[in-house]
Amino acid sequence: MTVVQKYGGTSVGSVERLRNVARRVAARAVDGEQIAVVVSAMGKTTDELLTLAREVNPRPPRRETDLLMATGEMVSSALLAMALVEMGCPAVALTGAQAGVFTDNTFGRARIRGIDTWRIEEEFAEGHVVVVAGFQGQSPQGDYATLGRGGSDTSAVALGAALKARQVEIYTDVQGIYTTDPRIEPQARCLRDIASEEMLEAAQQGAGVMHPRAVELGLLYDIPILVASSQAEFGSGGGTLIRGKVHMEPENRVRTIALDRDVASVTLRNVPDRPGIASQLFGPLADAGISVDTIVQNASELQLTDLTFTVTKDDWERTQEISKSLSAELGAANVLFDHDLVKVSLIGTGMQSGPGYAATMFRSLSDAGINIELITTSEIRITCLVRADRGEEAVRALHSAFQLDEDI
């Protein structure tokens, strides 16, 4: 059987930690399983490389940024393979390209188009553990392309699908998936399991513990993903299983609360309320590769309406340029920009069948004196945008209002 394991940046952040990972991998390898290990760059390497790039050029070209960032994972994969060999466990390190990971050419947020596993299979046949540099692949032109921040999770699940692994194991610096980020709420509890659908929504709404596309691939290919601590003993039963179906009716219908700090909003004031306005605005944004998240259009008064939407901070500058230049054309009175917001989301499939969640959410935010700037929902989520400096407080208030800190 094949197992794919992934170790995140903190877990490979020093030589000592790399050795700890090597010991864990070597212990699993003697069980006769074929093991592919995906690694992130050591510690804060990716941030440091980005800082370096911006020192040289405040707007570094995307292709070269990807080439630079991809080196982080090459370093950690080469070192891990060396540590394994030193322990007497035969291993090879492969870059994403050498491992057969093919992507499209959208640098910085490339998507995996396919994985050709022949090289990995060949190494397995030789009895090697294969260590793969995460977060990267090869574009159609043969360039290095990276998958977006946190993308090593996606490398791992994609490899799991391609190698028909029975499970993908994501090892990180917390015990698993919690009722909210334990760094924000120390009372947060680690969940035994969570439905892929819920985890996908949480990841998309800022729960940084998993890359959203990794969850999506797990769902698509029906591969269970175990998220656990890189310090915990394997087989100790710890960690959270992300899987298609969670069998039991959830006791608490709110499963997790996510905080997304990567939000900026744009409001066009007094836009004429006539057909075609939305497409005139969102068409050019889409053409520029900007994905728009929340969109809210107010009820119109005197044939004029306000249109608000959010984008990620990365896209904000370009969004400003485009919306400023379009606002005159659209006949808007003015455009307002705000990057001092965060999104707080309640997530749970069980909320579909129970009333009152939104009311409780709004009441507990109001009790805490936190103003709601915008509200959006999906079938399994309620999101409020609040001022950035109140975000963590909002998470804690909701965590306690929905009794997520209580043992069930």
Helix ranges (H only) for 117-208 are: 118-125, 152-162, 196-204
195 alpha carbon, distance to own chain's centre: 16
Decide if residue 148 touches ligand ADP (CB under 6 A): no
Restricting to residues 251-280, which ones interact with ligand ADP according to CB under 6 A? Answer: 256
**311 vs 316: CA distance, rounded Å:** 6
**Quick one: what does residue 144 bind among ligand ASP, ligand ADP, Mg ion, none, with the CB cut-off 5 to 8 Å set by partner type?**
none
Beta partners for residue 7, in sequence order: 39, 171
Q: How many residues does the chain have?
A: 408
Decide if residue 239 touches ligand ASP (CB under 6 A): no
CA dihedral 101, 312, 215, 383 (to 10 degrees): -170
Restricting to residues 1-30, which ones interact with Mg ion according to CB under 5 A? Answer: 8
Restricting to residues 10-69, which ones interact with ligand ADP according to CB under 6 A? Answer: 10-11, 40
Look at the alpha carbons of 330, 331, 336, 342 in this order and tell me if their dihedral is positive or negative.
negative
Query: Which region among 98-106, 171-179, 261-269, 393-401 touches ligand ADP (by CB under 6 A)?
Result: 171-179
**Quick one: what does residue 149 bind among Mg ion, ligand ASP, ligand ADP, none, with the CB cut-off 5 to 8 Å set by partner type?**
ligand ASP
Q: Which residue, 107 or 135, is less far from ligand ASP as judged by CB?
A: 135
| Cβ–Cβ under 8 Å, residues 73 and 136 | yes
Please work out the total of residues on this chain that contact Mg ion, with binding judged by CB under 5 A. Answer: 2
Tell the smallest beta-carbon distance from residue 404 to ligand ADP (Å).
Answer: 11
**Quick one: what does residue 103 bind among ligand ADP, ligand ASP, Mg ion, none, with the CB cut-off 5 to 8 Å set by partner type?**
none
Q: Which residue, 100 or 134, is less far from ligand ADP as judged by CB?
A: 134
CA distance readout (Å), 210 to 37, 96, 136, 258, 381: 17, 19, 16, 12, 18
Nearest to 267 by CA among 202, 215, 311, 222: 311
Decide if residue 152 touches ligand ASP (CB under 6 A): yes
Tell the smallest beta-carbon distance from residue 211 to ligand ASP (Å).
Answer: 7
Looking at 8, 137, 151, 250, which residue binds ligand ADP (CB under 6 A)?
8
Tell the smallest beta-carbon distance from residue 254 to ligand ADP (Å).
Answer: 12
Nearest to 134 by CA among 114, 158, 116, 113: 158
Q: DSSP per residue over 22-47, as a string?
A: HHHHHHHHTTT-EEEEEEPPSTTHHH
Q: DSSP per residue over 199-214, as a string?
A: HHHHHHTT-TTS-HHH
- The position carrying tokens 């900026």 is 264
Looking at 120, 195, 209, 330, which residue binds ligand ADP (CB under 6 A)?
209
Q: Which residue, 96 or 250, is less far from Mg ion as judged by CB?
A: 96
Restricting to residues 301-340, which ones interact with ligand ADP according to CB under 6 A? Answer: none
Q: Which residue, 5 or 138, is less far from ligand ADP as judged by CB?
A: 5
Site string for Mg ion, 132-151 (x = CB under 5 A): ------------------x-
Enumerate binding residues for ligand ADP (CB under 6 A). 8-11, 40, 150, 172-174, 177-178, 180-183, 207-209, 256
